[in-house]
């Protein structure tokens, strides 16, 4: 009786707390909707708070709970955050579907909205935006641009001058990663962030829940993320990467296994250790997430290296003393650690079985890996699927850049292909045909969304919400179909990432395809990473030989390569590229020089690149064609075969 009374009393307290919490969350949601300019559901929501409704709600929440040690407030916060974004997602998905039926009008509206908002800026007056009535007039008046057209204008914004490119003060001055070219400083605005939330995050969450219903649960996500550091411009505007930290929202933190204090840690090595520690503590993790698959891949590499230390921490209920942490941060984190001998024993057993399929053994209820694994991240996604994350579905949700949201993946069930529907209300898009890519001011007219052809490749030219007009972002995409009238694209490569020593133009996609075929014919070999360089970058050190490709590969399963195996890569590329084959036959391009580098060489190289460009792992993408001699020299120094 005493136990029953205790449970009943506790249930009443939970019920009362639930009512109060729901009222608070509904009010917060209503305020958020008002900020977004949407009607608040507050009056009708309050009317629905009946006792029967509360009972059903509590039953639904309990049915979605998979883990233990969750507080009522964290469950409620996660439940309503997901419900709210899901509601937004359904609304935005319906709007997107309607937009794809009338793509020309929607694109015209998007363009004119940008021009009208910024008509009273210095730049808007220079091109007389206020008199432009349609896209034809805009394209006739305004040239195609590159970053050099904006460099000095952005400096004026950084110095505090107002209404230069955009009508409002930017939220931050966003630095591009600079991994495939010089780093650029772009403006980021409230409109950019709102579009990413509504047209990107909300739509992709709706898509994810449709494709993977098991994700509709109150499981936590392990998000591998490194908090960015910002400096200030002369006018006090933050300068740094355009990536928001989960710690910026108290409600969002309830979605993640990593505690808030860990996001205050500056060092990436220590931050990653904490991500792994708190993920391992929770056997009910539902999703593994990072911006890019490379970040998750290297997280698993670190897990494979440091698992004994991590398991000891879980067994002893501590945070490793080897981590460099501020006293307050350490105290907060250790306050959430308790000795857990049972979990530590489970983990040791799992690790001792090896690392193939380790993710599903550590987290039996793991539903999804959420990370971009297209473009230069393709090989990391493949390694995760083949090794650490066997049997777990992947979803690559966005096609985005510092310039803003470009496309969304509406086909997550396609595990071997990454297609993105262009978002017609995010940017006004134009397309440069492939034969115009080398021209600074293209002679041919750009094409619009409704004019591109399936099967053709184009460079994207965008007009966005943050002061870029007819801007060449440097991405080459292939149109692979249409959703109603809207193009569906696959990312191909970055301009400047094309191999060409005699004008043959071998793309990243083509080279990787040849490399994967060659590696499959090297017994026991598994591709970990690779980069290429054109021989001209080596200068005199290439010995005056014919122009050729210098290829660096990191492999597992083999210690060296025979000359026959190296030549196999050259043969595979000749099969894929008739032009390359022709130059090789005539002798005007020499044979590839394929060099195998030591384990971890590319991880070290990526650290050098990130330090040079002041880039975090969140936004870093490994360039596949090296354009700096010091990077080539570094890999030459790591060559073992």
- Confidence class for position 58, pLDDT limits 50, 70, 90: low
Is the pLDDT reported for residue 40 higher than 70? Answer: no
Contacts of 538 (CB under 8 A, 6+ apart): 550, 629, 632
- What distance in Å separates the CA atoms of residue 621 and residue 373, rounded to the nearest whole number? 11
Lowest model confidence (mean pLDDT) among 111-125, 404-418, 527-541, 620-634: 527-541
Predicted local confidence at residue 12, as pLDDT: 42
Predicted local confidence at residue 613, as pLDDT: 78
Residue 496 near residue 474 (C-beta atoms within 8 A): yes
What is the sign of the dihedral through the CA atoms of 439, 155, 248 and 314? positive
Alpha helices in 453-600 (DSSP H): 508-520, 563-576, 578-586
Predicted local confidence at residue 416, as pLDDT: 82
For residue 172, how far is the Cα from the chain centroid?
19
Distances (CA, A) of 222 to 167, 369, 593, 621: 38, 10, 41, 21
With vertex at residue 400, the alpha carbon angle to CA 384 and CA 617, rounded to the nearest 5 degrees, is 50
Average pLDDT (79-103) is 93
- What distance in Å separates the CA atoms of residue 247 and residue 266, rounded to the nearest whole number? 13
Predicted local confidence at residue 219, as pLDDT: 92
Residue 291 near residue 372 (C-beta atoms within 8 A): yes
Q: Which residue has the higher pLDDT, 449 or 376?
A: 449
Q: Which residue has the higher pLDDT, 19 or 504?
A: 504
**pTM confidence score:** 0.86
Distances (CA, A) of 226 to 245, 272, 611: 8, 8, 14
Predicted local confidence at residue 452, as pLDDT: 97
Give the 3-state secondary structure of 102-117.
Answer: CHHHHHHHHHHHHHHH
Lowest model confidence (mean pLDDT) among 39-48, 67-76, 328-337, 459-468: 39-48
Is the pLDDT reported for residue 178 higher than 80? Answer: no
Q: What is residue 145's DSSP assignment?
A: B
Is the pLDDT reported for residue 4 higher than 50? Answer: no
Lowest model confidence (mean pLDDT) among 35-49, 92-106, 155-169: 35-49
Average pLDDT (487-503) is 92
Predicted local confidence at residue 365, as pLDDT: 96
pLDDT tens readout for residues 337-378: 999 999 999 999 999 999 999 999 999 999 999 999 998 899
The residues pairing with 639 across neighbouring beta strands, listed in sequence order, are 597
Is the pLDDT reported for residue 194 higher than 80? Answer: yes
- What distance in Å separates the CA atoms of residue 279 and residue 281, rounded to the nearest whole number? 5
- Confidence class for position 78, pLDDT limits 50, 70, 90: confident
Distances (CA, A) of 159 to 149, 162, 192, 380, 551: 18, 9, 22, 40, 43
Q: Of 382, 624, 371, nearest to 516 (Cα)?
A: 382
- Confidence class for position 278, pLDDT limits 50, 70, 90: very high
Strands (E), 124-236: 172-175, 185-188, 221-223, 231-232
- Indicate the burial class of 118 (C-beta count within 10 angstroms; 0-12, 13-18, 19 or more): buried
Average pLDDT (404-419) is 93
Average pLDDT, the chain: 88
Is the pLDDT reported for residue 398 higher than 50? Answer: yes
- What distance in Å separates the CA atoms of residue 68 and residue 53, rounded to the nearest whole number? 25
């Amino acid at each position: 009786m005493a136990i029953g009374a205790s449970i009943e009393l506790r249930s009443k307290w939970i019920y009362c707390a639930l009512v109060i919490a729901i009222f608070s969350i509904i009010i917060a949601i209503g305020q958020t909707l008002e900020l977004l300019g949407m009607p608040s559901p507050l009056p009708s929501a309050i009317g629905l708070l009946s006792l029967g409704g509360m009972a059903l709600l509590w039953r639904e929440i309990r049915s979605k709970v998979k883990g233990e040690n969750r507080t009522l407030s964290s469950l409620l916060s996660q439940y309503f955050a997901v419900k709210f974004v899901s509601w937004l997602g359904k609304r935005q998905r319906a709007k997107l579907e309607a937009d794809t039926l009338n793509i020309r009008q929607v694109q015209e509206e998007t363009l004119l909205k940008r021009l009208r908002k910024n008509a009273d800026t210095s730049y808007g007056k220079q091109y007389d935006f206020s008199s432009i009535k349609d896209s034809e007039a805009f394209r006739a008046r305004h040239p195609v641009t590159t970053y050099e057209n904006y460099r000095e204008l952005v400096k004026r914004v950084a110095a505090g001058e107002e209404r230069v490119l955009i009508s409002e003060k930017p939220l931050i001055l966003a630095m591009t990663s600079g991994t495939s070219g010089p780093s650029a400083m772009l403006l980021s605005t409230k409109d950019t962030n709102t579009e990413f939330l509504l047209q990107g995050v909300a739509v992709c969450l709706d898509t994810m829940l449709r494709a993977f219903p098991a994700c509709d649960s109150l499981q936590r996500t392990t998000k591998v993320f490194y908090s960015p550091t910002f400096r200030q411009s002369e006018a006090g505007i933050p300068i740094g990467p355009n990536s928001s930290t989960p710690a910026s929202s108290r409600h969002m933190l309830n979605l993640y296994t990593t505690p808030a204090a860990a996001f205050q840690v500056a060092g990436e090595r220590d931050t990653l250790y904490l991500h792994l520690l708190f993920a391992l503590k929770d056997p009910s993790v539902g999703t593994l997430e990072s911006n890019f698959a490379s970040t998750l891949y290297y997280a698993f590499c670190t897990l494979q290296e440091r698992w004994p230390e991590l398991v000891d921490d879980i067994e002893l209920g501590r945070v490793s003393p080897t981590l460099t942490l501020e006293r307050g941060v350490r105290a907060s984190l250790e306050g959430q650690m308790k000795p857990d001998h049972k979990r530590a024993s489970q983990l040791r057993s799992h690790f001792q079985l090896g690392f193939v399929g380790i993710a599903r053994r550590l987290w039996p209820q793991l539903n999804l890996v959420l990370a971009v694994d297209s473009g230069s991240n393709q090989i990391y996604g493949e390694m995760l699927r083949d090794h650490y994350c066997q049997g777990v579905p992947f979803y690559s949700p966005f096609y985005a850049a510092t310039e803003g949201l470009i496309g969304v993946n509406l086909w997550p069930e396609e595990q071997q292909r990454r297609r993105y529907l262009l978002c017609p209300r995010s940017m006004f898009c134009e397309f440069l045909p492939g034969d115009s890519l080398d021209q600074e001011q293209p002679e041919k007219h750009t094409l619009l969304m409704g004019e591109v052809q399936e099967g053709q490749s184009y460079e994207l030219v965008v007009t966005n919400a943050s002061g870029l007009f007819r801007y060449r972002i440097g991405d080459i995409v292939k149109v692979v179909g249409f959703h109603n009238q809207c193009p569906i694209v696959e990312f191909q490569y970055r301009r400047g990432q094309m191999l060409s020593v005699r004008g043959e133009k071998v793309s990243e996609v083509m080279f990787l395809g040849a490399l994967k075929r060659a590696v499959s014919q090297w017994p026991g070999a598994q591709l970990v990473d690779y980069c290429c360089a054109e021989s001209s970058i080596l200068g005199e050190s290439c010995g005056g030989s014919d122009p050729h490709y210098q290829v660096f590969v990191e492999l597992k399963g083999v210690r060296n390569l025979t000359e026959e195996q190296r030549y196999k890569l050259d043969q595979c590329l000749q099969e894929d590229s008739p032009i390359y084959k022709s130059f090789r036959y005539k002798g005007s391009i020499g044979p590839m020089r394929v060099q195998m580098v030591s384990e971890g060489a590319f991880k070290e190289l990526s650290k050098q690149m990130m330090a040079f460009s002041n880039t975090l792992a969140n936004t870093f993408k490994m360039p596949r064609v090296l354009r700096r001699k010091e990077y080539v020299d570094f890999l030459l120094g790591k060559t073992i075969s």
